[in-house]
Chains A and B, each alone.
Chain A
Amino acid sequence: MFKKIAIKIVFLLLILTGLNYIYDATLFKTDLEEKCEQVVEIRNSQNKTDIFYFAESSNFNSRETDSIKNSISEITNLFFPNLKITAINKPASHAGIFKQWLTQINLGVEKPKAIVVTLNLRSFDAAWIHSRLETPLQESMVLTKPFPNIVNRFLLSLQAFDNKTEKQRDMDMLLDWETKQLKFPFDFKYKTVRQWDNAMSQGSYLKPDGSWDDAKITLACHYVKGYAFNINDDNPRVKDFDEIASWCNKNKINLYLNLLAENVEYADSLVGKELVFLMRENRDYLVKRYSKNNCVVVDNLEKVPGIEFTDQNWTTEHYGYRGRMIVAKNLANALKKQFENKYKKAY
């Protein structure tokens, strides 16, 4: 019986191998375009790309009133007119997604000269780690798993990825806020995000008429939830970026961690210096950890003035034209060392 079963299994595997070729030749590209157009973009643009620029929504948002709508990567490209910077963007992306995009670069064809990975501090926090957007993000990456494409397609149908429900993700986030202890080198009355958030929501802000300024309170609470955390070695995003750094190091491709600007001014005025302290601590952690080998950390954290953020009532890394130019210029300065003879002063 076992021999019979073994023969049948071999037969099935042969069929599957043949079907994989058929799938590759027929439906795979359409599926990939539908589920993860970024991967198709990487594959299609590899031959003509010098620098890949991986980013989240910061690279395709602008202020409505901006007369110039160019993205950060496009502005950066103006400093290097003879280089081709290809931006690969997807909203809510983070290091965990970018590391999978990297694997789509075919090193056998032509290596890019550099990779810029744009990250923001919030992508390391509990709200982003346990974001509801994580499920579609993970789903989008199933077709790039290291199995035959037809198997990946089947895994997609089986929903075989980090496919937690929104409720589960919310619970995980709340648990982190409730249990993860905030570390300060000084005494601070709030030990967790939840405590801090509760305190902020107890009406720290009043309008001139004495009523609670709900909009301001909400924003302050949001800043606490977005930035009150300590990045450490156990953070999943740190582990993901470690993999990115090691991949680039192994393949001798220069890596630029483009750490985005946050609205530190508002964090300070709305919540206080303790929150700014955490933001700076986290920035310092990333700069220290990744400023080695062939990786450069481009620190934009405090470069953009508060007024240049397009969302004044929320925490985002979307900037008006001036803000985008500041970040792009800072990045261009970092790239200048590698591409000195290609650099041209654009602004």
Chain B
Amino acid sequence: MLFNSLQFLIFLPIVVGLYYLLPHKFRWVLIFVASCYFYMAFVPKYILILFLIILIDYFSALAIERSQSKAKLAYLVGSLTANVLLLCFFKYFNFLNENLLGVFSLFGKEFHPINLDIILPIGLSFHTFQSMSYTIEVYRGKQKAEKHIGYFANYVLFFPQMVAGPIERYETLGNALKVEQKPLYQNLSDGFKLILYGLFIKMTIADNIAPFVNQIYSDPLKYSSSEVLAAVFLFSFQIYADFFGYSTIALGCAKLFGINIMDNFKTPYLAKSVSEFWTRWHISLSTWFRDYLYIPLGGNRVKLSRWAFNILVVFTVSGLWHGANWTFVVWGALHGVMLLLEKYFSLIFKFKIKEKWSVLNAALTLKTFVITSFIWIFFRAENFEKAKNVIKAIVKNHSIQPSDLTLTLPLIFAGLLILFDFFLYNSRIDKQLNSLKMTYRWAIYTVLIFCLFALSGTQKFTFIYFQF
């Protein structure tokens, strides 16, 4: 069930209403049933994979808590291996086969890959990472193992964030699901604001930009340099609006249940460097990699060369996490390389910017946006050939006349997104709206509602991050 569907807009108020009507002791059952129903609306049988993850990590955590040293580690390794294997089987099996085939043929050897007709279960990368963080925390002694399997299941399954995050820690989401929440006006009001804004971002902005970008990316060589360049920049806005929209709706839905989940975005395109970008983009994934990969590798408390290695490993793995394709790996690795280059230049040119807004800041922000936009080419293109064609078209297609594709509407919506980002700088829509006078607040509601109802895209585009 998609957030931007009528089913969901009917489903959500029913579940929220029932949640507050039910006595606390039964609420976990409602969340569990609702989450299963929500997930099964995609591909019903894949719920079994989630149940398997829940069972593995629930019992592993209990075993880890009861055990000592080596056995404890063995249970953790067992649990992590099971999770990673599940992920690999569904996400990377065919990818691995394709690559083995390539390697074998390179050496003139025969290889007969088994190609499985597998559809990647929606959000599998998110569930496994969320569940893995729990067992790791239990192993580290920072989290007590959950005795109630229902509560643990809800931590993995909680429908507002189950398919595309934010990747929550048990400490916040798991524990919040256990607390008896009261129906507070402020929570409901904030939840509504977040959902409204999230839907606006996704349906009005992302879905109006998507047709233009898809058209250009389908055959970039046919279009003029300026059009392809526009598509490259517009994709930056599309993916941001798409994923930020989803995350904001997720935040709003959780808020309706009185639960605060983490902000996944903080105006990332206003970042002045690539490293800052990663503190503002997909924050829950960045912090996951920081806590469970970067720091265990030694983080920055190592020699410079080792630190550079750590950075490259983290970003490459992060790329691979997104999809079973070398383009994603390159996308991740390029971010790592850019981060290292930034570090290198910052060591050479030492300067500090004090003012919040200045020409230099604006230039740095623009530079970061241009860099990330170009790196997105590898994320968006289905393969290297396509990515190459995009770059080739930008460089060589100056003589081609622009096609009849209309750029105006996508550009207006991208501009609107930038405006809202300035408005939300280091804050969030519900907080910003609450700080305004009532008249301004309702004026913004009116604009959002009109854009959402009358100007949203009319083609079906699922959330981009659902594929991961």
**A→B interface (CB under 8 Å):** 1, 4-5, 8, 11-12, 15-16, 19, 22-23, 27, 35, 139, 150-151, 153-160, 163
Q: Which 9 A-B pairs give the minimum distances between C-beta atoms?
A: A157-B456, A160-B6, A154-B453, A1-B185, A23-B454, A158-B6, A150-B453, A19-B450, A159-B460
State in angstroms the CA–CA spacing of A23 and B451 once bound together.
10
In the bound complex, do residue B446 and residue A153 qualify as a contact, i.e. CB atoms below 8 Å apart? no
Q: Dominant SS at the A interface?
A: helix
Q: Which residues of B contact A16 (CB under 8 A)?
A: 449, 453
- Rounded to whole Å, the gap between the CB of A13 and the closest CB of chain B is 11
Q: Does B57 count as interface, using CB distance less than 8 angstroms?
A: no
A158 to B458, CA, bound (A): 8
Q: Find chain A residues with CB under 8 A from B460 CB.
A: 159, 163
B387 at the interface (CB under 8 A from A): no
Does B9 belong to the interface (CB within 8 Å)? yes
| B442 contacts across to A, CB distance below 8 A | 11, 15
Q: How distant is the Cα of A1 from the Cα of B449 in the complex, in angstroms?
A: 23
What is the size, in residues, of chain B's interface with A at 8 Å between Cβ atoms? 24
Given the known interface contacts A15-B449, A19-B449, the answer about A150 and B183 at a Cβ–Cβ threshold of 8 Å is no
**A8 to B193, alpha carbons, bound, how many Å?**
12
For B207, the chain A residues whose CB sits under 8 A away are 157
Q: Say whether B458 contacts A19, CB under 8 Å.
A: no
Query: Do residues B458 and A23 form an inter-chain contact, with CB atoms below 8 A?
Result: no
Check if B188 is an interface residue, CB within 8 A of chain A: yes
User: Are B456 and A154 closer than 8 Å at their CB atoms?
Assistant: yes
With A5-B188, A158-B9, A163-B460 already in contact, the answer to whether A19 and B453 are too (CB < 8 A) is yes
Interchain CB contact (< 8 A) of B453 among A35, A139, A151, A160: A151
Interface assignment of B249: CB less than 8 Å from any CB of chain A: no
Chain B residues with CB under 8 Å of A5's CB are 185, 188
- B203 at interface, CB cutoff 8 A: yes
Q: Which residue of B lies closest to A4 (CB)?
A: B185
A159 to B456, CA, bound (A): 11
The answer on a CB contact under 8 Å between A153 and B453 is yes
Complex-state Cα separation, A153 to B410, whole angstroms: 19
CB distance from B320 to the nearest CB of A (A): 29
B457 is an interface residue with CB less than 8 A from chain A: yes
Q: Does B358 contact A (CB under 8 A)?
A: no
* Residues of chain A within 8 A of B453, CB atoms compared: 16, 19, 23, 150-151, 153-154, 157
- Shortest beta-carbon distance, A181 to chain B, in Å? 29
B185 touches A158 (CB 8 A): no
Q: B6, B207, B450, B455 — which one has the most chain A CB atoms within 10 A of its CB?
A: B450
| B446 proximity list for chain A (CB < 8 A) | 15, 19
Q: Which residue of the partner chain B has the closest CB to A135?
A: B460
Indicate whether B286 reaches chain A with its CB closer than 8 angstroms.
no
With A15-B445, A15-B446, A15-B449 as contacts: A156 and B458 at CB distance below 8 Å: yes
Contacts of A155 in B (CB 8 A): 6
Closest chain A residue to B10 by CB distance? A160
User: Whole-angstrom distance between the alpha carbons of A88 and B184 in the complex?
Assistant: 54
A158 & B454 in contact (Cβ 8 Å cutoff): no
Q: What are 9 A-B interface contacts by the 8 Å CB criterion?
A: A12-B445, A19-B450, A153-B454, A155-B6, A157-B452, A157-B453, A157-B456, A158-B6, A160-B6
The residues in B between 380 and 439 inclusive whose CB is less than 8 angstroms from any CB of A are none
Is residue B69 contacting chain A, with contact meaning CB distance below 8 A? no
**Interface-central residue, B203, B207, B453, by most chain A CB under 10 Å:** B453
* A156 to chain B: closest residue by CB: B458
- B115 contacts chain A at the CB level, 8 A cutoff: no
- Asked if A157 and B188 sit within 8 Å, CB to CB, the answer is no
Residue contact A19 to B5, C-beta cutoff 8 Å: no
CB neighbours of B6 from chain A (8 A): 155, 158, 160
Contacts A1-B183, A16-B449; A150 near B454 (Cβ below 8 A): yes
CB pair A157–B445 under 8 Å, yes or no, is no
Chain A residues near B458 (CB-CB < 8 A): 35, 139, 156-157
